[in-house]
Amino acid sequence: MARRYGGKYSPDAPSAPDDEALAKGYRNAVVDPVGARSNLLFIPPVILAFTSLDEGAIGLAAGLLGAAALTLGAWLLRDGLRAEAAYDARKVARRPAFPRKLGAAVFTGIGCALAAWVNEPGLLAPAIFGGAGAALHIGAFGIDPMRDKGFEGVDTFQQDRVARAVEEAESHLSTMRDAIARAGDRRLIARVEQFQTTARDLFRTVEDDPRDLTAARKYLVVYLLGARDATVKFADVYARTRDPQARADYEALLDDLEQNFSARTRRMLLDDRSDLTVEIDVLRDRLQREGVHIERKGN
């Protein structure tokens, strides 16, 4: 979608841009992993469907089935790429429940086999083309992550609770993003994205240490639920009225929420550092009781 150029001296530029806020908007920016290569895979099924129109009833049916298989494979690939990107972005993550990229390769192979059968009925040629299509798909896009990541020494029950809470929180952020897009204001969209970055910092902190879930639950559930509802109502009102007071109130709400989320994240990080200091001191005392003396830096 085309976006109008804007900068420091643009008419709608903020009067005093905050470099730190701008930097935060770009930090943790996520590029959609679905690229041009995967989108191009939607073209072959269209071609196959049209070229099967003059192949007779059986050839048409086989061509349409092949086109459907290729389309399903391209759709599964898009989801698989997004799931893999989410897996790579987290320090602790479970493997995808369903291997979408492998499923995409299988359906691509089936589509290629049916397309070959339309032009050359039999078993050998479709098998060769189908196997080649699946193999090339795997070679181009790889396979799904096949193992859990970062679960060594982690309470899986607690981690499951964190995963469910973060998933619910992410759904609230997605609703906020979709709602504010209806307002049609680029600066408000960027402001919501900045808040989402701050909220995700809290998510990652809780994922790194599931013991923090109790302290952060009201932020992940209650506060984000309220932010979601407020964003939906504001977007509907602002899209109709362009009320400046409603805009100011909403931006003030985002400021308060961002400050609270940042403060909660800092407190949890300080608590984690305090726990580490205690563990180091306990280990040092044990080593000294065993006769191992550790020289401290600066002594």
Q: What is the pLDDT of residue 135?
A: 95
How far is the first Cα of the chain from the last one, in angstroms, to the nearest whole number?
61
Residue in the structure block whose two tokens are 């200091």: 277
Q: Do 163 and 109 reside in the same domain of the chain?
A: no
Mean per-residue pLDDT of the chain? 80
Q: Do 164 and 269 reside in the same domain of the chain?
A: yes
% of the chain exceeding 70 in pLDDT: 76
> Above 60 in pLDDT, residue 262?
yes
Length of the chain: 299
Q: What is the pLDDT of residue 122?
A: 86
Q: What is the pLDDT of residue 22?
A: 47
Q: Do 265 and 158 reside in the same domain of the chain?
A: yes
Q: Do 122 and 225 reside in the same domain of the chain?
A: no
Q: Do 158 and 80 reside in the same domain of the chain?
A: no
- Whether 109 is covered by a domain: the verdict is yes
- Whether 19 is covered by a domain: the verdict is no
Q: Do 128 and 163 reside in the same domain of the chain?
A: no
Please say which residue of 92, 108, 141 terminates a domain: 141
Q: Do 178 and 277 reside in the same domain of the chain?
A: yes
Mean pLDDT across 226-233: 90
- Whether 9 is covered by a domain: the verdict is no
- Whether 134 is covered by a domain: the verdict is yes
Per-residue pLDDT tens digits for 35-63 = 788 889 999 999 999 988 888 889 899 99
- Whether 148 is covered by a domain: the verdict is no
Mean pLDDT across 170-182: 89
Number of domains the chain contains: 2
> Above 70 in pLDDT, residue 27?
no
Q: What is the pLDDT of residue 78?
A: 92
Per-residue pLDDT tens digits for 103-149 = 999 999 999 999 999 888 888 999 999 999 999 999 999 999 888 77
Residue predicted with more confidence, 187 or 212: 187
Q: By residue range, what is the domain housing residue 40?
A: 36-141
> Above 60 in pLDDT, residue 299?
no
Indicate the pLDDT class of residue 155, thresholds 50, 70 and 90: low
